[in-house]
Amino acid sequence: MNRPTLLLLSTYPFQRPRHGGQIRLSEIARTYRNSGFMVHPFAVYELENYHKSDVGADDVPFDATSSFRLYRGRRVPFINNFLAGRFAASDEGAFQKIQRRVPSHVDVIEIEQPWLLPLAQRLRRELPACRHACLVYGSQNIEAPMIKSIFDSHGMCDADDVLADIDALEREAAREADLVFAVTAGDKTRLENFGARKVLLVHNGIASWRVSAERLDYWRSRLPAAPWLLFVASAHPPNFTDFMDCIGYSLACIPPSSRFVVAGSVGVHLHEILSKSRWRDINLSRLIILGMLDDQDLAAVKALTHGFLLPILAGGGSNIKTAEALYSGKYVICTPASLRGFDAYRSLPEVTVAESPAQFQAAIRAVLCSAPAAPITPQSKGIREGLLWDHCLAALPTIVTQLLENKKLVA
């Protein structure tokens, strides 16, 4: 068999992967390529959110001034990914540009999340090169309920039509795809209930990280000598609303000499909320906001922390931050939702699952008054290896190849 050709469609580029979705996509592409696939990524991305060095040659910008940024003539926040699908599949949008760049023969079209399903459908319908391509749908979570929770947290109550459209798109993607990837067992069941023919569980994984001695020294001199906890997250609204729901509005559970360290763009929002709280002086005396860090700095900060905080309530998928925290061997204080897809790790001695602010606070106090978590043993190292991308995605190329062969046989 010739090298299979795969179009990888997404709503964000992954030349310089930073957030969880980009990292997953980048690893998927790497895994396919390592197995001989020719991977052609097409990202239809929000122009305002990425630097030109972030994007690939075939990626298509979705301009903030585009008329496709309106939903039925009105502006609705948090749904640009969904709107990107309509933009990508329209002649007035990016379709003509994309179709000119599609290779002469395509075996597989894989959509990461359901957003670009309209593009995949049109390519399969109209382009001879894609007519016989298999459709693979990589679900990262069940989107409609998650977006509803974002709307709810912002008091948006007039967006039922948007939610209905997103729900319909998601169900259509599940039904139409020859193969669906789910990241948790719960998502797998839901996708099967949507009518998906074949759903495969493909956990989110992580790449092991190296820490530079120089960055380690740099951060060691700037962060507290006493044990401290780390929270890494983007400015995605549930990241800070969940934090407040999980931990409350006071950081009094942090000892006076310790600190709560926040990395990532969520920091600005957390700082704003915690400094407006009734417990402002407690919070500001214990909070360190680092802002966005590059990989080397983040690796050093992760290596120095005493433990990770994973206050995740929203979303149906699994979380790469969880995998990184579990892999580190440090203390992990998390919600049951953050362990979705990682149930096997719940019993690790350094993992504490908290279900209320009081439980979170008690766990934080206990962890910060404890000696560092015990070193990783050979047995637990084996369990942790299962968190790496290489392990999580290993079966992907084989299964897709199998799918192609089956299709050929049927044909």
Partner 1 sequence: MSIWFDITTILTWNRPAVGIVRVESECARHFRNATQSNTRFCCFDRSRGGYVEIDRNHVEEVLIRFKQGLAQQLSPVPEVAAGPAVSALSREERLKLGLLSLINRLPRRLRDAALRFAYTRREAFYGGLRAYQEARFALQTLIGPNLSPSPPALVVPDPAPRPDRQALIFKSGDVYVSMGLDWDQKNLEYLYKLKQDIRLRVVLFCYDIIPVKLPHLCVGDVASRFAKYFTDVAWCADKILCISDCSRRDLAQLLHEVGAPEPELSVVRLGSEVPRAPEQLPSANVAEVLRHRYVLFVSTIERRKNHETLYRAYCRLIDAGNIDIPLLVFVGMPGWGVHDLLSDLRLDPRIQPYIRMLNHVSDSDLAQLYRHAEFTVFPSLYEGWGLPVAESLAYGKFCLASNAASIAEFGGDLIEYLDPWDVPAWAERLGWYFRHPEEVAEREARIRLEYRAISWDETGAFVLAQANQLAIP
Within 10 Å of residue 347's Cβ, how many Cβ atoms? 8
Q: Which of residues 332-361 bind partner 1 (CB under 8 A)?
A: 357-358, 361
Pick the closer one to partner 1 by CB: 88 or 364: 364
CB 147, min distance to partner 1, A: 28
Which residue number, 292 or 353, has a Cβ lying nearer to partner 1?
Answer: 292
- Closest approach, Cβ 4 to partner 1, in A, equals 36
Q: How far is CA 302 from CA 28, 256, 297, 326, in A?
A: 24, 21, 9, 12
Whole-angstrom Cα distance, residue 306 to residue 372?
Answer: 6
Residue 293 binding partner 1, by CB under 8 A: yes
Does 286 participate in binding partner 1 (rule CB under 8 A)? yes
210 binds partner 1 (CB under 8 A): no
Stretch that binds partner 1, among 2-10, 136-144, 220-228, 399-407 (CB under 8 A): 220-228
Q: Does 268 bind partner 1 (CB under 8 A)?
A: yes
Part of the chain binding partner 1 (CB under 8 A), chosen from 75-83, 98-106, 183-191, 280-288? 280-288
- Nearer Cβ to partner 1 (97/280): 280
Does residue number 22 form part of the binding site for partner 1 (CB under 8 A)? Answer: no
The residues, any chain, with a CB within 8 Å of residue 225's CB and separated by 6 or more, are none
Contact 232, 299 (CB under 8 A): no
**Minimum Å distance from CB 249 to partner 1?**
9
| 49 binds partner 1, rule: CB under 8 A | no
Q: Which of 202, 290, 332, 337 binds partner 1 (CB under 8 A)?
A: 290
Question: Is 86 an interacting residue with respect to partner 1 (CB under 8 A)?
Answer: no
Among 1, 2, 51, 213, binds partner 1 (CB under 8 A): 51
- Per rule CB under 8 A, is residue 257 in the interface with partner 1? yes
The answer to whether 132 contacts partner 1 (rule: CB under 8 A) is no
Query: Is there a contact between 354 and 360 (Cβ–Cβ < 8 Å)?
Result: yes
224 lies in the binding site for partner 1 (CB under 8 A):
yes
Q: By CB under 8 A, tell whether 269 contacts partner 1.
A: no
Q: Closest Cα partner for 307 from 254, 256, 380?
A: 254
- The answer to whether 280 contacts partner 1 (rule: CB under 8 A) is yes
Joined tokens for residue 62 = 């979705």
Q: With CB under 8 A as the contact rule, which of the stretches 84-92, 187-195, 230-238, 283-291 interacts with partner 1?
A: 283-291
Contacts with partner 1, residue ranges (CB under 8 A): 51, 218, 222, 224-226, 247-248, 250, 252-253, 255-257, 259, 267-268, 271, 278-282, 284-294, 296-297, 357-358, 361, 364-365
